[in-house]
Amino acid sequence: MTRESGSLTLVGTGLRIAGQVTAEAKSAIEDAEKLFHLVQDVVTHRWLERLNPSAESLADCYAPGRPRAASYEAMVQRMLAPVRAGRSVCAAFYGHPGVFVQPAHEAIRRARAGGYEAVMLPGVSAEDCLIADLGFDPGERGCQSFEATDFLVRHRRHDPASALLLWQIGGIGVADFRPGAFWNARGVEILSRTLARTYGADHEVVVYEASPYPIAEPLLHRCSIAALATAPITLGSTLYVPPLPDRPADEALRAELAAAASLP
């Protein structure tokens, strides 16, 4: 396929104001002929405008009552228009550009299908912040991660002896865009009831939200599953469900693996 002249680079700004942008991402932001962005705070917005005067927010693609799928499609079209006109385009999203950023993945797919260079650079996600703030090691007992609505409606199978992360608990079951910081309290009640069947109503969970400010603490609200519906939840909240007691190891298999490892 002949390579077209336009290009697309997707980057992340992290969760903390300007401080979690990698040197690689900052260079892509500065060098782009056109910069789009979708960030959470006005400080990062202004910082991006200083780095690249062509900066343009994608936030106006959202509108109350508009299906989020339609908003995402509008973002994709906006990002690709200058790419198809032969320009180098960068799009910066808060957090990691590939974590719960459907329009970023779709824009890259379409750009590549059209013969344009398109890359995604890694960024700092809410999960990365959670691991640091909770002192949680996903390699110790394993970690499962699901979008909360998907977890519920598809009855996702998971291992309760490993940690569980549930994303977007503040917008369970909501397919459109709505004003406000918490979209469906009833959805959290349903989530609480569902989790209680596996873990018990008294099992402690953590509602987590990364701090955007270097001098501010993250939100770490610990409560029982039974009290989850009254927790301080927003659209930025992620739920950490600690594992139940571990199951015993298969000692015969452990010995077999050790013996295999000692063979020349």
Would you please indicate which residues are annotated as catalytic (active-site) residues?
A: 68, 72, 94
**Quick one: which of 15, 45, 46, 9 has its CA closest to 29?**
9
3-state secondary structure 86-145: CCEEEEEECECCCCCCHHHHHHHHHHHHCCCEEEECCCCCHHHHHHHHHCCCHHHHCEEE
Pairing of strands 238-241, 204-209: antiparallel
DSSP state of 264: -
180: left (phi over 0), alpha (psi -120 to 50) or beta: left
Which class for 247: exposed (0-12), middle (13-18), buried (19 or more C-beta within 10 A)? exposed
